[in-house]
Amino acid sequence: QVQLVESGGGLVQAGGSLRLSCAASGSIRSVNSMGWYRQAPGKQRDLVATITSAGNTNYADSVKGRFTISRDNAKNTVDLQMNSLKPEDTAVYFCALTRTEWTGRGNPYEYTYWGQGTQVTVSS
């Protein structure tokens, strides 16, 4: 099992910055990627940014140039630096960890663990 604990959410004015942090604990092995997703009221959960164990990153178009994801493999943490925040960035942000697991027959598959979420509110 894997546990993910997020911190760093809050209320900020448009144009401001926030930094989210996520710490993973438990059975940390065969991790493929860690990342952040967000869900606004009445909307689906969308990708914000991910980073692989090798350091390859992927960002949603809406946050490119404003958000930066970073990861410390030794500490099993992933951070999201959010700059130039906009009201449309308001959402609950979820930390995610995806790793390879195996069926009873030894077939691999990907499984994603989720944190409990942290609220980010950007006022105009």
Q: How is residue 29 written in tokens?
A: 């092995």
Say yes or no to pLDDT of 1 above 90.
no
Return the amino acid letter for 20: L
Tokens standing for 36?
Answer: 């952040």
Give the pLDDT band of residue 86 (cuts 50, 70, 90): very high
Q: How far is CA 73 from the centre of its chain?
A: 15
Mean pLDDT of all residues belonging to the chain = 95
State the average pLDDT over residues 1-6. Answer: 94
